Structure 1
């Protein structure tokens, strides 16, 4: 029993240490759990009731309806057999077989719907009796085809009792399913009633627990707040002699209580301090009034000095502005020089590049001129050799001309001798004539070749002269190209020197520009300082004038402060420490 009380006290203390938010959440969570349990029970019982009702409507009622249909089919197939025996129409046999198969189908359907042993027993009996009925009916039909009376008797003795028994089983099944339907419906109604009662009980318990939890939590929260409210009213009335309230919980109310106690202590200390300081303020206000009068006199003197300083600051600002304009002009000139130097540097770089390109072209030209000079000399040598060869060819042509003349003369002499020989020299005369003709052609061709050789020699002479002139010209061009290369090299050296000097000038100009910019910045700073000094002087002068007025106001305020200190002392006396 003692252990249970200690455990309960520990649980209560643990709950007290929770924050208000956690206390509220715990209470609402408890209520939510209770209503969740009630909802689950309601859902579970409702599901059971729904399942029972579904079984009742979907299975038992369906099996009962099937049983009634089977009973109807039993009567129909009995009527079909009687009609066949009466009218001997084969169509009735087809109807009988159709009804018999339909009975089997309905029996199978009912077996799938029901799990009751009694229902399955009735259905098995119907299956057996239906098969026997069909067999006996076929036997009676076969007998009636040859002996109608005997067939009718067999049907009456064997088939009709089976049909009657089938109907009894079918009716028993229908009755059993009806009883089962009523029993299941009663059980379902009872289950629904029990579920309703259980839901009402659980909901009532949940409601009672929710109310109890709400009252418990509200008491935990409201009681210390009411106590704090009463203490706050006492403090509001000026009673600071109240006792400290000690709340054992560790929630926000505990923090509020600690803050309230701290506030009370601080307020008590503040009132005590105000009471002490108000007396000091009353004494100090009189001293302040005297000091304010003396400060007003000193402020008048400061105002006169500041006005003199402001006048000098304005003159300095004007001089600085003039220097600033001059520095701006110098800076603009230096920037223009820097731009010009940059343009010169770019032009020098371009000239240097062009000079290098020209030097390369001259060197290539000298190389080509040397090659042309060498080729010209070689061509001159070849032409000289050609001239010698043409002279030799001319000598050979002269020899050929001489030989052709002699051959022509010999041919003429041979023709004369052949004519003297008469008939025997005719053949030789023909040969001599042909030789003469060849000699004349050779002489003629040699003359033409001699003319051509002479023309070639003339052309060779002119070529030799031209080659000599060309060689001289190439030699002179080579000299000029060499001199041009030397000039380009000197130009390149000069441009390099100019470029170096331009770079030095550019660096110097940049340094000058930087110095000018620094000087300009310094002048701007000096100008700004002068402007600020002038402005500050004017502001100080104005402030001094305002201070004079302020000192007068301070004097008046000191008197008012003295009166307020007395009123504050009267107010503090209302508090009980």
Structure 2
């Protein structure tokens, strides 16, 4: 049954079924917990919650209120304080009892509840009688003797306390019953959990065993079949492909593959003999091709040697042509450089002549300016002479003045001395200016001679530049002729190199052909050996056609 399902479906079942069972167990646990909650709620609501109100009322009526009564009877409290305290406690007790009446179960013992209600009312009524005034300033409980008070307490207060105590014990007994029910339910629940756990464990173990068996048994069978095929090389064996799971599909695919492989081995066996015969024929043809290729390689080598000699000759001619072209280019460059130098020299000499003209004009201007300086010096000399005469006249007048003109006489001497110095300096400057004019005249004559020589040199430089230009044109023509020879020789060299390259390529192709023929011979021999080996190998397989 499981073999009809896929392995993924089995694994899914292996995970889903335990999850479903666990979910059922959790649901059962949930409902069980709800049932226990209901039991505990009933225990608290019906039996424990109402006890607090009854016990509070019992404590007020049996202890607190009686304690206030005793304080009043012994004189420790006033009538007004006792009355207020008792009324307050009675109101509290009445409120607690109303809470008890509202919260107690409706379906419980109605007679017992009626007896409790009557006893509570009598006790409250009795306390109200006790706190009523017997006179103007005393409560009724004050004038009663101790035995009367004790009898009334026993008759009314203690009777209610006994009924309340009985009710409390009854509720505790009912709570114990509910507790026992919860304990019994817990024990049953533990047993059910144990039984369900064991059953669940057994079911899961059985499911795991069945799934493992449904997966492993076909795998083991497939493994055994593959080992048998490996050991015996029997291609007629087939795997068990029954079922619809992945293992059955894999077995079907393996059976198809073995069937195709069996057919392939059969065809391979039938082709091995034909391959061996064809290999022998190819081997003989390769031998013939190898011998022919050897002869062609020898002839191609001789032709390549002749072409290489021709190429070497063409290369030598091309080298000589390149050297001639290079020499012509160098001569052309030198002519161009000489022409440039001659042109530059002419331009420099022309510039020098222009500079000499400018210098001649400057020197001439200097000679003219120096003449003007001489006329100025004449004026200064005349002024100095007149100053000397004036100083002499001043000295004479100072001498006439006597003692009063002594200071003026000193000044006149100083002016006369200054005039003499000025005259002497003027004569010195005049001498220097004369020499300067003579040198400027000599420099102007020398510059005029240099200007004439410079104009002659400019003409010579221009002639030299023209000769360099004609020489450069002739050398350029030679360079063009050499370049044409070099280009033609280079073309011949290229053609010879192409021919030599083609011969070498032909020789290489023939060599490769010879090597290929030899390799083909070796391959044919190896192919023959492989065909024999293949024929021996396929005989090891067992196929259905040979059984």
The one of 39, 45, 49 equivalent to 2:32 is 45
The one of 255, 261, 273 equivalent to 2:267 is 273
User: What CA distance in whole angstroms lies between the structure 1 residues aligned with 2:174 and 2:533?
Assistant: 100
Aligned position for 1:560: 526
Runs of 4+ in 1 over 6 A off after TM superposition: 153-159, 297-305, 535-544
User: What CA distance in whole angstroms lies between the structure 1 residues aligned with 2:237 and 2:536?
Assistant: 25
TM-score, normalised relative to structure 1? 0.51
Q: Is 1:93 aligned to residue 83 of structure 2?
A: yes
> Residue 142 of structure 1 contacts residue 151 of structure 1 at CA under 8 Å; is this kept in 2?
no
SS of alignment partner, residue 244 of structure 2: coil
Change (3 A) 1:74 1:545: farther
The one of 190, 194, 200 equivalent to 1:206 is 200
Aligned position for 2:283: 289
User: What CA distance in whole angstroms lies between the structure 1 residues aligned with 2:22 and 2:506?
Assistant: 79
> Residue 300 of structure 2 contacts residue 503 of structure 2 at CA under 8 Å; is this kept in 1?
no
Change (3 A) 1:36 1:271: same
Aligned position for 1:197: 191
Aligned position for 1:25: 12
SS of alignment partner, residue 144 of structure 1: coil
User: What CA distance in whole angstroms lies between the structure 2 residues aligned with 1:540 and 1:119?
Assistant: 132
Equivalent positions of 1:319-468 (< 5 A) are none
Aligned position for 1:80: 68
Change (3 A) 1:554 1:109: farther
User: What CA distance in whole angstroms lies between the structure 1 residues aligned with 2:101 and 2:507?
Assistant: 118
Change (3 A) 1:119 1:296: farther
Unaligned runs of 5+ in 1: 1-11, 312-534
> Residue 300 of structure 2 contacts residue 506 of structure 2 at CA under 8 Å; is this kept in 1?
no
> Residue 46 of structure 2 contacts residue 105 of structure 2 at CA under 8 Å; is this kept in 1?
no
User: What CA distance in whole angstroms lies between the structure 2 residues aligned with 1:145 and 1:281?
Assistant: 150
Aligned position for 1:466: none
Per-residue CA distance 1:156-193 (angstroms, 9 max, x = gap): 67675332232122102210121122112111111111
User: What CA distance in whole angstroms lies between the structure 1 residues aligned with 2:100 and 2:234?
Assistant: 92
Q: Is 1:34 aligned to residue 21 of structure 2?
A: yes
User: What CA distance in whole angstroms lies between the structure 2 residues aligned with 1:230 and 1:275?
Assistant: 27
1:210 is displaced (CA, Å) by 0.6
Change (3 A) 1:550 1:161: farther
User: What CA distance in whole angstroms lies between the structure 1 residues aligned with 2:170 and 2:70?
Assistant: 30
Aligned position for 1:164: 158
Aligned position for 1:103: 93
User: What CA distance in whole angstroms lies between the structure 2 residues aligned with 1:39 and 1:537?
Assistant: 97
The one of 216, 221, 232 equivalent to 1:238 is 232
User: What CA distance in whole angstroms lies between the structure 2 residues aligned with 1:281 and 1:107?
Assistant: 119
Change (3 A) 1:552 1:140: same
User: What CA distance in whole angstroms lies between the structure 1 residues aligned with 2:17 and 2:287?
Assistant: 76
TM-score, normalised relative to structure 2? 0.53
The one of 118, 125, 136 equivalent to 2:126 is 136
> Residue 130 of structure 2 contacts residue 141 of structure 2 at CA under 8 Å; is this kept in 1?
no
Aligned position for 2:450: none
Change (3 A) 1:219 1:149: closer
> Residue 46 of structure 1 contacts residue 195 of structure 1 at CA under 8 Å; is this kept in 2?
no
Q: Is 1:63 aligned to residue 50 of structure 2?
A: yes
Q: State how many pairs are aligned.
A: 339
Aligned position for 2:144: 152
> Residue 64 of structure 1 contacts residue 178 of structure 1 at CA under 8 Å; is this kept in 2?
no
Change (3 A) 1:296 1:161: farther
Change (3 A) 1:135 1:64: closer
